[in-house]
Structure 1
Amino acid sequence: MSTVEPGAATSGLVDRVKSILLKPSATWDQIAAEPVTVGGLFKGYIIPLSLIAPVAGLIGSLVFGHGGFGVTFKPSIQGALISAVVDFAMGLVGVYVLSLIIDALAPTFGGQKDRLQALKVAAYSGTAAWVAGIFLIFPPLIFLMVLGLYSFYLLYKGLPRLMKTPQDKATGYTAAVVVAAIVIGVLVGILTSPLQRIGLADRGPAAGTISVGGKSVDLSELEAQSKRLEAISKQIESGKAPEAIAPDVLKTFLPAAVAGYDRTELTTSSGGAGGVNGSQAEGVYTKGEGRIRLTVTDLGAAGALAGLVNAFNVQSSSESDGKYEKIGKVDGRMTQESYDREAKRGQYSVLVGERFMVAAEGEGASMDDLKAATAAITPARLEALVKG
């Protein structure tokens, strides 16, 4: 019997991507029985898909640049290439390290150690995240990268099938692996960005800290989340996924003025893939030289996947050279904020009802202004849209 080289032909790669996204259960069963080699899996699947985000990001940065509110900068070709190569290389390392963790944890959750099967899980569960990287090519579509969270559900479905874990222990296994993936992501950020100072231990006022659920994971909460994800996935596979709120409805949540800034622009957009849809309304507010871009995004079915991240109660903070970043919960909602005090530039976002993302980005605006802008959306009104 010959050894399968996944994705050796373009059509085979495309078909596998479609099948794992749309029919994960049946596809995992097929993957479990396939003989592979480490080299074949990297060459035929991991490397081609790992290239999507770095290449899309390279093109997007060189063509459109970075920034907002009409103020953008474009990196040098050399700088953009170096960044893309580093991201690509670290991504490959991350997949392999994650596979080692999956293999090492298997016996703890009643599974069987198998290095190749673990690599399959790490590779194929990342499909949604890799494919979502294509949205880096065009800045207005970057919000759709949240669809990559579907990879968490792919992981949950693949672990018991390939690592022979009892179904009643699949949730805990998934939780442990996702926590490991979060930590790997933080470490990759430390290695690839000189501006990021997030550490795994408190090292003083200039250092960062990160904890995942206080060094523990609420498995009962995760169990509830996984059941929701399974229901959502079945709806997606059957073409009955929840419809995103119409953009024209979302734009009614953007007031004429926020925090003393008057609205000068109002736009809407919608889109999706693989049965998962989303929509967004965006307003631009100005006051003198200051600008705030306020967005309301309905993640649609992907909101349930964001809920899985919320269940981990991830908290982090970092500060260096007048810049800081924080992730945590405020009033039970996951929030993220970052600010450059010297440039008076920052961002504040809130996950509302595990369905909506409300975000404010500002130039020449204070963090208090950005927080006031997101509060003007009135999160309780958004939550009422899906509770009714």
Structure 2
Amino acid sequence: MSAPFVKLFTHPEFAWKDIREQEQAQPRHYLAHLLLLALIPVVCLFIGITWTGWSLAENETVRLSTASALQLCVLLYLTIVAGVMLMGVFIRWMSRTFDARPTVNQCIGFVAYTATPYFLAGIFGLYPNRWLAVIVLAMASVYSTFLLFVGLPKFMNLNKDQGLLYSASVWGVGLLVLVTILVEMILLWFNVLQPEYLRVPVS
């Protein structure tokens, strides 16, 4: 487990300097963090929707077939990785407005580390439940937003006012990208891949 990863939760205000230095010294250093942690929600969700299942009616558990679950999880993994990279490109593009000159790799790395709470929240995919998902995702969103507003000014070496405006802009774009890419993924899965549900009576 890397020191910056731990610092994100113990001393987040100091983690970003280490992360930027790592990306300067080793371009694409973030890839291991992104590709491995993105597996957490994917693997846990696969287990949750094929073994645990969820209830839509009393005395009935709904699961997905292994093939449908695998399709969903592969699609989710590709969506996560593509979304992080797309946000990195957006941050690099917006940096010109604020006289910051990060590389694309540094920006993607920043997004990958900022999204860490979402990756860890994926553990709760082991137990698919609508209200649990809402609560956990809300908590992950709050902490990721905190990491964004604390980290971006330090990562980009900006003053407080510029950092606040830049962070707010990134937050707005990030919300738009997140909603758009998830909606497209869900529509593709439902309309093209056509999931197969298994309804199991509870004895």
TM-score interval for Structure 1 and Structure 2 normalised by the shorter chain: 0.7 to 0.9
Aligned to 1:73: 62
2:64 is paired with a residue of what secondary structure? coil
Aligned residues: 183
Contact 1:160/1:167 (8 A) holds in 2: yes
Q: Under a length normalisation based on structure 1, what TM-score does the superposition of the two structures give?
A: 0.44
Aligned to 1:200: none
Pairwise mapping of residues 16-95 of structure 1 onto structure 2 (< 5 A)?
A: 16-34=4-22, 35-38=25-28, 40-42=29-31, 44-70=32-58, 71-95=60-84
How many Å separate the matches in 1 of 2:84 and 2:27?
15
Report the alpha carbon displacement of residue 145 of structure 1 after superposing the two structures with TM. 3.2
Aligned to 1:174: 167
1:72 is paired with a residue of what secondary structure? strand
Contact 2:121/2:140 (8 A) holds in 1: yes
- Cα RMSD, aligned residues only: 2.1
Unaligned runs of 5+ in 1: 1-10, 197-388
Aligned to 2:114: 125
Pairwise mapping of residues 197-216 of structure 1 onto structure 2 (< 5 A)?
A: none
Report the alpha carbon displacement of residue 58 of structure 1 after superposing the two structures with TM. 0.8
How many Å separate the matches in 1 of 2:54 and 2:78?
22
Identity rate, percent: 24
Q: Which has the higher contact order (CA 8 A, sep 6+)?
A: 2
1:70-97 deviation line (CA, Å, top 9, x unaligned): 3331111000000000000011000101
How many Å separate the matches in 2 of 1:27 and 1:113?
17
How many Å separate the matches in 2 of 1:172 and 1:94?
22
Report the alpha carbon displacement of residue 116 of structure 1 after superposing the two structures with TM. 2.4
Q: Which amino acid is 1:148 matched to?
A: A
How many Å separate the matches in 2 of 1:85 and 1:69?
28
Deviation beyond 4 Å, 4+ runs, structure 1:
none
Relative to total residues, which structure has the larger strand share, 1 or 2? 1
Aligned to 2:194: none
- Name whichever of 137-146 and 55-64 sits farther off: 137-146
How many Å separate the matches in 2 of 1:26 and 1:102?
21
1:74 is paired with a residue of what secondary structure? strand
Relative to total residues, which structure has the larger helix share, 1 or 2? 2
How many Å separate the matches in 1 of 2:41 and 2:136?
13
Report the alpha carbon displacement of residue 195 of structure 1 after superposing the two structures with TM. 8.0
Report the alpha carbon displacement of residue 179 of structure 1 after superposing the two structures with TM. 1.3
Contact 2:38/2:81 (8 A) holds in 1: yes
Looking at CA atoms only, which structure, 1 or 2, has the larger radius of gyration?
1
Q: Under a length normalisation based on structure 2, what TM-score does the superposition of the two structures give?
A: 0.81
